[in-house]
Amino acid sequence: MNRPDLKSFKWTCMPKAYCLGEDRAEITTAPHTDLWQRTYYHFRNDNAPVLQMTSSEQFFSFSVRTDFSDSRHRFDQCGIVLYLDGENWLKASVEFETERMSHLGSVVTDGGFSDWATTELDGSVKQMWYRLSRRGNDFRIECSRDGTRYAQMRICHMRKASGDVSFGIYACSPEDSSFTARFSHFAFGECLWEAHDGQQPDD
């Protein structure tokens, strides 16, 4: 795994403020920023600041450490993202709920409808590592408390993820709040998601 050049990353939406170093990034969110499409809430939000690199590699892994110690308001969040366009993307993050509890979760938006898979997390947790791996059109998201032992969060298929894909980091504050998210330990390289060795594909 190699450290990517953050200078080559591109913004989809600009944040309220940001700072980039050799292996660190800070994003300060603006109020009422989010990524969500339609499902259940029936609204569409597509204005979260997303900072991404682009690769044509069909097999890779990308990882990053997030620090959200500054989050204090409901739904404040930061994490990893693969953003193809406004209706096709995936993300994983810790979302602030209360001082005692947050939600560790992931969202896959495929064809303009979002899902949301979550589990409760103790509010004392203020850092999380994520790893995104690609095998063609299939992706795996993992999380880790220490950057060494990763646990699978989900596997998904993105129909529009052919050829080049863009992926990186994001942070947002869906309600009337703002916080500074910190990212470090960026890594990109060979796919750490091993090929499946169980049931063979159907003909």
- CATH number for the domain including 164? 2.60.120.200
Residue 194 covered by a domain = no
| Number of Cβ atoms within 10 Å of the Cβ of 153 | 19
User: Is 99 in a helix, a strand, or coil?
Assistant: coil
C-alpha closest to that of 30 among 175, 161, 146, 191: 175
Residue 197 covered by a domain = no
Return averaged pLDDT per consecutive 10 residues of the chain, 203 residues in all: 94 96 96 94 92 97 98 97 97 97 97 95 97 97 97 96 96 97 98 89 77
Residue 200 covered by a domain = no
Residue 198 pLDDT: 83
Question: Are the C-beta atoms of 89 and 109 separated by less than 8 Å?
Answer: yes
Residue 196 covered by a domain = no
Residue 202 covered by a domain = no
Residue 196 pLDDT: 85
Residue 157 pLDDT: 96
Domain span holding position 150? 6-189
Residue 69 covered by a domain = yes
Residue 14 covered by a domain = yes
Residue 21 pLDDT: 94
Question: Are the C-beta atoms of 42 and 23 separated by less than 8 Å?
Answer: no
Residue 40 pLDDT: 86
Q: Distance between terminal CA atoms of the chain?
A: 35
Residue 41 pLDDT: 86
Residue 181 covered by a domain = yes
